[in-house]
C-alpha cells in the first residue's frame, strides 16, 4: 500500500468513486478513513506531497521530502500539516520570509508544531508569508507574493497568506498560521476557508519568531470549523517555556451545534458602517438573516472605542517589533554584511536584510518608544487597548457572540495597495480590535461577492472557544459554502 498507487485504483478497488482522492476530504474525514482502514497515512502523505510539489501559487517556501514516522494510534492519524514560516522548526529553514534569516535552520522546534507532530500531524512544508508577519497581502515576503487560488491576479491576504492559499487550493489538508492583528482571519476570509485566532495565551508562543509579543497568537487555517477545532485541541496547552501561556481551561470539543437557538449575536455599528464594500455588506446581511433563521437573535451592540483600534495597534505592534527585531544584527546567525566595523555590520546587515515594510515598522516603533514620546504614544496606546478590552467585556454582558465581516473588502489585486501603507493597514480594521482585547475570533466563509469569498468574523469572550466553534459550526452548515477545490 505504501508505494505510489494511483488513488483511483485504491478507491476503485472498493468501488468508492465519490471518495476518490484524499484532497476531496476534510482532515477530520481523512482521520476517519485512516481509522476505518480505507486509507493509510502514507497514501495521504504521498498525495499531498505531490500536490504541494506542484504548487504554482508560491504558497510554499520549503517542502518535506521524506514521509515522517507517525505513531499508529496518533489522534491526528498522520494527516500532514502546512506550517507558516514564522515557526521555528529544527533543521528546517525558518526565515519568517525574510532575507535576513535566509537559510537559517533553528536548532529547536516551536512548541505548537511539536505538539501537533506528537498528535500525528507531521509537517508537510513551510508556507510563505509577509516578512516577519508584517502585512495583509503576502506581498511583503522576501520570496515573492502568494497568489490567491480564486483569482491568481489577486492577493491571498496576509500575513499567513501561504497557509491560507495552500489550504484553499488543496495543497495542504490543513495549516497553522499566526495572528497578530488579523493575520489568520483576513487571509482565511480572502481565500474562502476557516481561520481561528484563539484567546491570547492558550497556545504557546515558544518558537514563533516574534513580531508583537503581546498580540501574537498561533491558530489553525482549515477547510471547515470541525478541522479548526481538531487542530486547536492539540495546539493549546500551558508551556513551561512561555511564561505568558495559560493553556485552555476546558478541552476543545468537536462542534456539533446545528441551531443557534437562544444565542445572542451583537453587531457593532462602529465596525459595520461605511467602508464595507457593497458585496461584502450583502453577504454580511444575508448571514445575519441566516442567524435568525437558525434561532439566534441579532442586536446592535456598541464598541465605542474600536475606531481607535488601528491607531493603537500601529503604535503597540511596531514598538514591540522594534525590540523583537533588534536581535537580527548579523553577529550570530542569518544575513551578515558590512566592512568589518561594528556600526557598518549593524547598518549594512539590517539595510540589506529587512524589506521596506519591516523597516517602516521598526522606525515607527523606535520613534514611539523614544525618550519624551513614550507617554504620548506607547503609554496612550496601551490605555486605548485597555479601553477597547473593556468595551468588549461590557458588550459581552448583553450578547454571546459579536459578528462582523472579517475584511471590509474581498481579495484585492496584487500591487493595488503596495504603495499605500495606510490603505493596507485598513485591511485589518475589523480584526485588530479583537487582537487588542486578546479574545478568540474565527473567520468562516459567508458567501461570494463577484466570485470572490467573503469572510464572516465571530468573536466571543476569552476562553470561550467551544461556544464560538459551536456557533461557527451551525452557521457554516447553513451557509454550505463551496470551497475553492469544489468550484468546478
Partner 1 sequence: MGDVTYEPVIGLEIHVQLRTRTKMFCGCELSFGEPPNTRTCPVCLGLPGTLPVVNAEAVHYGLMIGMALGCEPAPRSIFHRKNYFYPDLPKGYQVSQYDIPLAREGRLGDVRIHRVHLEEDAAKLVHVGASGRIHSAEASDVDFNRGGTPLVEIVTEPDLRSAADASEWLRLLRATLRRLGVSDVNMDEGSLRCDANVSLRPRGEATLGTKAELKNMNSFRFLERGVEAEIARQEQILRDGGRVEQETLHYDVRSGTLSSLRSKEEAHDYRYLPEPDLVPVAPTEQMLARARDAIPELPAARAERLGRELELPSKQAQLLAFRTEVGDFYEQAVAAGGDGADPRALANWVTGELLARLGDGQEPGDSAITPESFAKLVAMVGAKDVAQSAAKDVLATLVTDGGDPAEIVASAGLGRTGEGELAAIVDRAMADQADAVEKVRAGNDKAIGAIMGAVMRETKGRADGGEVQRLIRERI
- Sheet with 217-222, side-by-side order of all strands: 60-63, 123-127, 81-84, 174-179, 217-222, 194-197, 441-449, 452-459, 401-405, 264-267, 297-300
Check residue 386 for interaction with partner 1 (CB under 8 A). no
- β pairing state of 401-405 and 452-459: antiparallel
Cell (9 digits) for 200? 491570547
Query: Around 306, how many Cα atoms within 13 Å sit in the side-chain half-sphere?
Result: 27
From its phi and psi, is residue 134 left (phi > 0), alpha (psi between -120 and 50) or beta? beta
Residue with grid cell 501559487, as numbered in its chain = 57
Residues 175-214 that bind partner 1 (CB under 8 A): 205-210, 212-214
Q: Given candidates 378, 396, 412, 463, which one binds partner 1 under the rule CB under 8 A?
A: 378
Residues 4, 71, 253, 326: which binds partner 1 (CB under 8 A)?
Answer: 326
Q: Does 241 bind partner 1 (CB under 8 A)?
A: yes
| H/E stretch holding 353 | helix 342-353
- Binding mask of the shown chain, residues 245 to 284, with x at each position contacting partner 1 by CB under 8 A: ----------------------------------------
Per CB under 8 A, the list member of 369, 389, 423, 478 interacting with partner 1 is: 369
Strand 264-267 to 297-300 pairing? parallel
**Is 289 an active-site residue?**
no
Q: Which of 26, 94, 287, 431 binds partner 1 (CB under 8 A)?
A: 94
For this structure, is 159 an active site residue? yes
**Least distance (Å) between residue 244 CB and partner 1:** 6
Catalytic residue among 94, 159, 407, 435: 159
The x, y and z cell numbers of residue 333, run together, are 546567525
Binding partner 1 by CB under 8 A: which of 27, 34, 70, 110? 110
Q: How many residues bind partner 1 (CB under 8 A)?
A: 44
Smaller CB separation from partner 1, 141 or 409: 141
| Contacts to partner 1 from residues 338-367, by CB under 8 A | 342, 346, 366
What does the alpha-carbon distance between residue 148 and residue 58 come to, in Å, rounded to a whole number? 10
> Hey, how many other C-beta atoms are within 10 angstroms of the C-beta on 156?
34
Q: For residues 456 and 463, is the Cβ–Cβ distance under 8 A?
A: no
- Smallest gap from residue 219 Cβ to partner 1 (A): 17
| 236 in Cβ contact with 41 (< 8 Å) | no
CB of 406 to partner 1, least distance (A): 26
* CA nearest neighbour of 430 among 319, 274, 226, 215: 274
Q: Counting contacts by CB under 8 A, is residue 329 touching partner 1?
A: yes
87 is a site residue for partner 1 (CB under 8 A):
yes
Q: From 189-197, 240-248, 293-301, 428-436, give the range in contact with partner 1 by CB under 8 A.
A: 240-248
User: 98, 136, 160, 183: which one is catalytic?
Assistant: 183
Tell me the sheet residues that pair with 464: none
Is 84 annotated as catalytic? yes
Please state, in angstroms and rounded to a whole number, the distance separating the CA atoms of residues 177 and 219.
6
Instruction: Give the β-pairing of 217-222 and 194-197.
Output: antiparallel
Stretch near partner 1 under the rule CB under 8 A, chosen from 62-70, 217-225, 285-293, 371-379: 371-379
For 326, residues 6+ apart whose C-beta sits below 8 A from its C-beta are none
* Rounded least distance, CB 462 to partner 1, Å: 16
Q: Are 358 and 140 in contact (CB under 8 A)?
A: yes
- Residue span binding partner 1 (CB under 8 A) among the ranges 23-31, 164-172, 235-243, 424-432: 235-243
Give dist(CA 447, CA 245) in Å, integer: 35
Residue 104 interacts with partner 1 (CB under 8 A): yes or no: yes
- Of 11-19, 251-259, 330-338, 450-458: span binding partner 1 (CB under 8 A): 330-338
- CB closer to partner 1, 209 vs 301: 209
Q: Which positions lie near partner 1, rule CB under 8 A?
A: 87-88, 94, 96, 101, 104, 106-108, 110, 205-210, 212-214, 240-244, 319-320, 322-323, 325-329, 331-333, 342, 346, 366, 369-371, 374, 378
Give me the active site residues, please.
84, 159, 183
Amino acid at each position: 500500500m505504501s508505494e505510489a498507487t494511483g488513488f483511483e485504483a485504491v478507491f476503485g478497488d472498493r468501488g468508492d468513486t465519490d471518495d476518490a482522492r484524499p484532497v476531496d476530504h476534510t482532515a477530520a474525514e481523512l482521520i476517519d478513513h485512516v481509522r476505518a482502514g480505507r486509507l493509510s497515512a502514507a497514501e495521504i502523505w504521498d498525495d499531498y506531497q505531490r500536490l504541494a510539489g506542484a504548487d504554482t501559487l508560491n504558497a510554499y517556501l520549503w517542502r518535506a521530502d521524506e514521509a515522517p514516522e507517525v505513531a499508529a494510534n496518533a489522534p491526528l492519524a498522520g494527516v500532514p500539516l502546512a506550517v507558516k514560516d514564522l515557526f521555528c522548526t529544527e533543521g528546517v529553514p525558518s526565515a519568517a520570509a525574510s532575507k535576513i534569516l535566509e537559510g537559517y535552520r533553528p536548532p529547536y522546534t516551536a512548541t505548537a508544531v511539536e505538539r501537533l507532530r506528537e498528535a500525528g500531524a507531521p509537517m508537510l512544508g513551510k508556507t510563505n508569508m509577509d516578512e516577519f508577519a508584517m502585512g495583509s497581502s503576502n506581498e511583503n515576503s522576501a520570496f515573492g507574493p502568494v497568489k490567491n487560488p480564486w483569482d491568481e491576479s489577486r492577493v491571498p491576504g496576509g500575513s499567513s497568506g501561504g497557509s491560507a492559499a495552500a489550504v484553499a487550493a488543496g495543497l495542504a489538508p490543513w495549516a497553522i498560521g499566526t495572528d497578530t492583528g488579523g493575520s489568520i482571519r483576513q487571509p482565511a476570509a480572502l481565500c474562502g476557508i476557516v481561520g481561528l485566532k484563539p484567546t491570547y495565551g492558550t497556545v504557546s508562543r515558544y518558537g514563533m519568531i516574534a513580531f508583537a509579543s503581546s498580540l501574537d497568537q498561533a491558530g489553525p487555517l482549515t477547510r471547515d470549523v470541525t478541522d479548526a477545532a481538531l487542530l486547536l485541541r492539540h495546539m493549546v496547552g500551558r508551556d513551561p517555556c512561555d511564561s505568558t501561556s495559560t493553556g485552555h481551561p476546558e478541552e476543545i470539543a468537536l462542534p456539533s451545534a446545528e441551531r443557534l437557538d437562544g444565542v445572542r449575536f451583537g453587531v457593532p455599528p462602529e465596525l459595520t458602517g461605511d467602508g464595507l464594500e457593497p458585496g461584502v455588506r450583502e453577504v454580511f446581511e444575508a448571514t445575519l438573516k441566516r442567524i435568525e433563521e437558525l434561532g439566534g437573535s441579532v442586536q446592535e451592540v456598541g464598541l465605542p472605542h474600536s475606531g481607535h483600534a488601528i491607531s493603537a495597534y500601529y503604535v503597540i505592534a511596531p514598538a514591540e517589533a522594534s525590540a523583537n527585531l533588534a536581535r537580527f544584527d548579523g553577529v550570530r546567525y542569518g544575513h551578515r554584511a558590512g566592512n568589518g566595523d561594528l556600526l557598518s555590520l549593524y547598518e549594512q546587515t539590517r539595510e540589506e536584510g529587512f524589506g521596506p515594510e519591516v523597516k517602516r515598522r521598526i522606525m515607527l516603533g523606535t520613534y514611539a518608544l523614544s525618550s519624551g514620546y513614550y507617554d504620548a504614544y506607547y503609554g496612550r496606546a496601551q490605555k486605548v487597548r485597555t479601553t477597547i478590552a473593556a468595551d468588549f467585556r461590557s458588550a459581552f454582558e448583553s450578547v454571546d457572540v459579536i459578528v462582523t465581516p472579517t475584511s471590509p473588502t474581498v481579495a484585492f489585486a496584487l500591487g493595488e495597495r503596495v504603495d499605500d501603507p495606510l490603505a493596507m493597514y485598513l485591511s485589518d480594521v475589523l480584526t485588530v480590535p479583537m487582537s487588542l482585547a486578546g479574545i478568540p475570533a474565527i473567520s468562516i466563509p459567508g458567501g461570494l461577492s463577484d466570485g470572490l469569498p467573503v469572510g464572516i468574523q465571530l468573536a466571543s469572550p476569552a476562553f470561550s472557544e467551544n461556544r464560538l466553534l459551536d456557533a461557527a459550526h451551525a452557521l457554516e452548515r447553513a451557509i454550505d459554502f463551496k470551497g475553492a477545490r469544489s468550484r468546478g
